[in-house]
Homo-oligomer: A and B are copies of this chain.
Amino acid sequence: MCGVFGVFNNKSAAELTFLGLHALQHRGQESAGIAVSDGYDINIRLGSGLVTQAIKEEDIKELKGDIAIGHVRYSTSGGSNPKNIQPFFAHFYGGQFAIAHNGNLVNAERLKRELEMEGAIFRSTSDTEVFVHLIAKSRQPAPPHINLHKNDEDFLPHVFEAMKKVKGAYSLVILREKQLIAVRDPHGFRPLVLGKNRSGSYFVASETCALDIVDAEYLRDINPGEVIVIDDAGIRSYYPFEHTENPKKCIFEFVYFARPDSKIFKDWVYSVRKEFGRRLAKEYPIDADCVIPVLDSGLLAALGYSEESGIPFEIGLIRNHYVGRSFIQPSQEIRDLSVRLKLNPVRDVIEGKRIIVIDDSIVRGTTSRKIVNMLRRAGAKEVHMLISSPPVVSPCYYGIDTPTKEELLASSMSIEEIRKFIGADTLGYLSLEGMLEAADKTKGYCTACFTGHYPVLDELFEEIQIP
């Protein structure tokens, strides 16, 4: 997962992008970058780690210009690879541009091979570069149903053609010398919103919380399949695909990824999460003394469960705010204490009580196991674990860095086996139906990681071998 941000027409473009990325920090902590155009040239600064580590005050000062884009990158298994830090810069025959990408292409490898056969070189191992090449290669005119503004004639047809070639999830921001462009894939896997502030600057962001931090108003979602161009001539919208796809919004954004104060896919994450909790309460009416969240991801479902069931909500596990990446490598003897660095039980709440503990999902199960154990050692009489989503049985191919199928506990264990593994008295997962209804299923969601049915992948099953 990643976060993208863009701003048009603001003297402090780099600084606002810095703030926006800060608000999107939860979408990626591996690296961060900002690209700015002064109308003629595009300049980039990027680095590893959190936004405040990757980009320094002097970087911001050097990034002069009124248009900017930014990116935060999610921590992936392979560690921090400097080749892949975004935004990517490109110079092609049509000029310069920079691009930042949230999502994952399912036909990237095939396109890469094709492009390489035509002489393309790839300087990263990231999908995003496929886009860059497709844009630069393209020679097709715009589709006939599209009426292009004259400012868009030179570049946009390239973007359209690239969009036709790639399959998968992408919410993009593109920076040109004098334009900001935002693109969302036709299934609309990843969120992307448009905003405007009182002095007339435009903003594009993965989530509305990034609009809030720059004091901009949410205007609307960028729609699945839509391309938005912003320049001195105003703001224009294009739909390069003639046929609409079924929307396949990532329901996991509601379950886990997005921030609770964001509105994504036209709904408030906050309400949807609470509704997950309410439905959990209906599906699993348990006799207990209190409901506690695994902070932060279980917070709102626990609140919803409490409201629906009447069982008191308590903060039974405190989350330490200061846990960071740069923590000392604990010695062998001390390693076992490492869970405690992040979460600590409030014995006062736990001791002698029957506890319902709620988290958003179980992936490998090791953290859940430690939590159950920690609660028991703090004196819990019973520990009932509820999960505000169905079992994760399959990896995501659309931009969320889930582990392989083998590592997913639920791909090989029954719920009862998982319950035993983590040591809980009860283990309950929200039903698929319950989850979809909470999120308003008419809107069209991807649920592949819960079901194994991949919306885009199925059509291309030669691409990826689903294990």
Contacts and interface: CB of A to CB of B under 8 A. Distances in A.
Interface of A: 11-12, 15-16, 18-19, 22-23, 25-26, 43-46, 50-53, 56-57, 60, 62, 79, 81-83, 88-93, 112-113, 116-125, 132-133, 135-139, 209, 212-215, 259-261, 263, 268, 270-271, 296, 299-300, 303, 307, 312-315, 318, 320-322, 324, 326-331, 333-334, 336-337, 340-341, 344-349
A328 B23 CA distance: 14
Contact of A89 (B44, B123, B326, B328): B123
B213 A328 contact: no
A323 to B, nearest CB: 8
Contacts of A135: 121
* Oligomer copy total: 4
B15 A122 contact: no
A46 B82 contact: yes
Nearest to A93: B116
Nearest to A215: B337
Given A45-B82, A321-B321, A344 B261 contact: yes
Top 7 nearest A-B pairs (CB, nearest first) are A268-B348, A93-B116, A119-B137, A91-B122, A261-B318, A90-B121, A121-B136
A220 to B, nearest CB: 15
Contacts of A92: 116, 119-122
B123 A260 contact: no
16 contacts: A15-B328, A15-B331, A51-B322, A56-B328, A89-B123, A90-B121, A91-B112, A92-B116, A119-B120, A121-B133, A121-B136, A123-B132, A212-B344, A261-B345, A268-B348, A296-B321
Nearest to A274: B314
